[in-house]
Structure 1
Amino acid sequence: MNSDQIAHGDVDVDLGRLFAAVRRKWPRILFASLIITGLVFALAYMATPQYRAQTRLLIETRESIYTRPQGVGDGDRPILDGEGVTSQVELITSTEILDTVARDLNLANRKEFSGSGGSLVSRILVMVGLKNAPVEGTDEEKVLRAFRERLTVYRVENSRVIVIEFSSEDPQLAAEVPNAVANAYVAMQSDAKLQSNTSATQWLEPEIEDLRERVKQAEARVAEYRAQSDLLLGQNNTVLATQQLSELSSELSRTRANRSAAAAQAASVRSALESGVAIESMPEVLASPLIQRLRERQVELNAQIADLSTTLLGNHPRIRALRSQLSDLDVQIRNEATKVLAGLEAEATRAERREEELQAELNRLKVTSARAEEEQVELRALEREAAAQRELLESYLTRYREAASRSDRNYLPADVRIFSRAITPSEPYFPKIVPITAAAFVASLLIMAVITLLQELFSGRAMRPSAVAPAPLPAAVPMRRAEPALDAVPAPERPSEPVLPTPEVADLPFPKPVSRTARYGGMDVEQASERLVTGGVTRALFISPEGDEAAAASVLVARDVADSGMRVLLLDLTSSGAASLPMLESVAYAGITNLLASEANFADVIHTDLFSECHIIPVGTADPQRAMRAADRLPIIIESLSAAYDVVIIECGPVDAQGIGRLMSSDTQVLVSMIDPEAGELAAETAEELRESGIATPILVSPTGGSKPPAPPGRDAA
């Protein structure tokens, strides 16, 4: 089948006829919608009203600073994380709590929980298969199943708040059930704490008794070992032997210091006596009271001698007597100094003997202290064991007293608080008759309208022949003689006489002889744009054999495709920039030559049309010869543009099939621009050459009616 036959077989959807069918059948659509709406209204009106109420819980620690166990601070309080709160949600929906609430509220005697009967809507849904039939089971299982269906428990996101929600036919029951579930949960929490506290008390009692016995035994072992080891304690809780050793060491040090001082003083006095120096000035000698008195007498005698020497001669008896007394005093002072020396030597001797005694005692205490230290190690181990047992006993006693006092006073607050109780709802949440009816009416209208449109489409009444091909000859009209098929129309080189219709059918459209331009699917701008939009074309090559003026067709097609909402780019490959001039203020913009010459990137060469959303890559300002050296990059650039845009339109100017060979791809449409559809022989010849070169579907495009595109304000048209 050739391209002409394919063009003749194309059909389009006639939207006017399609929506005319909806307008024509609107009474039937409205009637069906009213019937469906009435049925929905009846079902909603007969449905049993459902009421909903909710209770909110807050998971928190209820202990205060006055009742908190000793040693537990604010940072030690157990605060549940997200997983813990979710676990509490599952605990609320446990069978134990639900069964307790069901028995307390006597839900088994209520119709909606017994599983018998049910609402009319439920029975209808079961009949049509939209709802499962009630499962048989025991009464308790039926009540719990119905209870779970109406109960909703969830955690508020990013919080420790739990919502208990319940729906029922009875508004009072809808409020009672969530409150009862919350109370049962709080009671279960308190019972769990009480049971834990009781278990701890029962465990602590025998442990405390055992610890008391172990503490008594440990302390007895400490006392017994201390008595056997003779580890008597002195001051500062130290062993007596160690304390004595310390005191004796201090005494020995003092004795050694005294002995050394006495020996030094005796040596000093002896040296003075042996050398014959005056000993009256020595501190050791002057310390003697007798020597001090003798020195005073000596001073008095010297004074008297000096006084008498002024009036008497040196041989005077009085002066000689005084000098004799002075000599006696010197002898007495020297004798007394000798006695002081003897006393110092005796003191040094005593200190030496005392030092020897203390050293012997010190050696004995060293041995005793070393043995005591060894025994002290074992004693400290026994004391540590006794202290550890004592501390553990005291800790257990404290905990036991706290647990016992909490059990006696029944103070075990649950870590949950009901901060919002359910109240009896006044309005049902289902059914909302007015919204349901309105939604049903709108939905039924839409559904019936869609069904009508589909019927028109499937019946073929909303289809019309494509605008590309000439109108076919009606088959139902009687013909005088058989008309030749469209494929049998001779070529323009060998025109044949057209067959005239009979007078009866002269007003019917007959196919005219196919002109040279119509043979290649001549289109206007709107038809060419529609072909690019609906044909899945991603690349369109425009050839303008009639010159730059014919390039206006590619500009108009690009703008029309852009107005349809698609992303379009026009690539101007003409030498004069005829395609980009109507779309930009001037030709002095960076373009494809700058991109090929590596003087710019994509962001620099892509510009926006002044009169549409179309993008344009102009010729550019780079050296053409330098740009042509990188012509091998052009297919790669076009592939990149095709990936970024829905349609890439390339204005090639007056080129032949060999010139566009590297720009072709599997989804490329070739279009030949012509100025006047009635005189497009050059364009038709170009289309024939393209077809002979292997391009099967070239299309001729011209502005509508052969008129030129309007020039932008302030400049000439392309």
Structure 2
Amino acid sequence: MNDVSPNSQVQHEPLFDIGDLLMLIWNKKFRIIITAGAIVTLLGYYVMQMPKVYSAKTTLLLGESSAEMSLPQGLASFASAGDSKLDTYLQYMRSRQFAERVVEQSGLMFRAELVNQNQPDSAKRLAAAQRLQNGLGYSRLGETNMVDVTFESTSPQLAADVVNAVGPVFFEYQQQKSQDRAQDASRWLNEQFEEVERQLEASEATLQDYFLENRLIDLASQISLASSEISTYMSQRIQVDAQAAEMKTMISQFEASGDDVQGLLNVGYIVKNSMVQDLRKRILDEEEDLAEISQRYKFKHPRYIAQVSKIDAMTRELESLIKKLVASLKQEYQIMLERSEEINKLIDEARGRHSELGQHEVNLAKLRREVESTQKLYDIFLSRLQETEILRDLGGQEEFSVVDFASVPTSPSKPNFVLLLAASVVFAGFISVMGWLFIHIVSDKRSRVLSVLASMDVPVLTEIPRIFRTRRKLSTVLKASRDNMRFAESIRTLRTALIVRNDLDENRVIAVTGVKPNDGKSLVAASLSESFAKLEKSMVLDADLRYPSISGAYKLKESLPGLTSFLGNSAPAGKCIHKITDTQLSVMPSGIIPQDPMVYLSKPRFKAFLHKLSIIFERVVIDVPPLEQYSDGLVIGRNVDAIILVCDLEHTETAELVQAIQKLRDVGAPLVGVVFNRVKNLPAAPGQSRRSYLKIPFLHRRKKTGILSPETA
């Protein structure tokens, strides 16, 4: 047994292959041809009734302005609303304003072919403009400046007149617009020129006043002189600072020596002094003389004393000279410091003058730039003003002309009867094929379900016709089904399929369930049990403990004991089974409806009871709840010999049927096949013509006269 998931076969199983499609088309070829012929006839009649439309075309040249005489884009950008003049022209020609201008200047509003002449003039003008705006077509010829203008109308003369009026009206409008634009540009340029002229005069006067106020003659020379002066002062300050530093070093040496003459004599400045050198030489000479005298005379000798006094006087003179030199050096150092400060002041003054001259130079450069820029703008406006005056005198320079005037068309452009008829044939054939294919796909749900069941290896046991179009009580439907030949034949087919089933075990206990509620499983169970009762001892058991209906089908009292009474040990089996008079059929109703049916159906007592029933009766048919909402059928299915799944094709989706089959297979229920219930347009039974089938209700009505019913027959 092949287990198939509920969705795999439904999603991937094709409705039919290409061979089926071709066969379907071949089988319905006459219907397709007749339908296509009817569509072609309707379309052909519509095409022949279409009015003849004439198309006229003229070619216009919309050239650009001459480059030498065009207004500058920077100052006359208002002359073009877009980047391309040709696009601007085309957009204007498509506007309502241009359409109204053409209508007014060419008198088209008085043409009866274009508008209704019974309207007032304002309404006629608006209607004609609307017609022209919607009907005129413009197309550019490649990358050129030429444009094709087309218009379609049922009147060939009107089509030619409309397109021939477009060019002159547009050219006149552009000529007037060019003159107005030149006048506006000239007026605007004059105003701007006067303003620039005033700005130039004011900037020149400001520059001259700045020279006079600051007494500037040759600013570059003054700046160069100030720079040279600063450089000279800087050189002087460097020299003075160097001398002052040297003096400061010597003064530091003096201070370090204190009043020691010998220490001061070690200072280079003192030693190098010529007076000090001369005086020291004289002292040395006198000391040599003293040494010679001391060899001859004692220290008390007058000559010795005189020589010593002379040396002391010279020594004191040397000390005095050294002190004077030290004092002179210090005084000179102070003079150097004062000179350095004086030079710094001179440098600061020179830098101030240089900075002031630099600021004057910046201001003058700014004033000069302002004068130069104003002068350039003045020159530009002057030249453009002269060009504008020339343009205004010469007029517009646009190259507008009609390249090819439209002639009155002699043959209609629309409709193309041959092409439309050919397209109608193709369209009609396609629609006819697709329509019948769609009808087949929508109406042939049965074929799709059969294909899915075949892939799952589940047979269709029988197909039961629909008796009533609306739902009615089971007793009413069961009564009507006994007299319906097609219904009876379908039940007999189901009975035969169960009897001749090639299994080891006999199908003695048979459960009948449905995919969804109201699929008609109770009717099938009751009818099948009645059909078995004609051959053998049979019983129908109502195991639908939620919505029982078997007792109502046979008009038994609801208070009679039944299945729940027996399983609940409240009544013996003999009182729960009720035999139908004059038949081999017995009925066991559901009994009292319990709150939880699974409490009764899952008991071992229920399984043992079914086994005993299979011994007592040849066939036991059990009415089981549907599988979509309840699991009762899955529990019962494990305790029976065969289970039948009833499906209402009209109200059951393929996926729901597959899911119900899969549920039974998952619990190992012995599913023998599917029964299609309430099938519409079911073929007539073997040996019965369609006409005789239509008379079945008549046979039922004449049953009282002695004519046998189909079931009895």
TM-score band, normalised by the shorter chain? 0.3 to 0.5
User: Normalising by the residue count of structure 1, what TM-score does the alignment of the two structures yield?
Assistant: 0.38
User: Normalising by the residue count of structure 2, what TM-score does the alignment of the two structures yield?
Assistant: 0.38
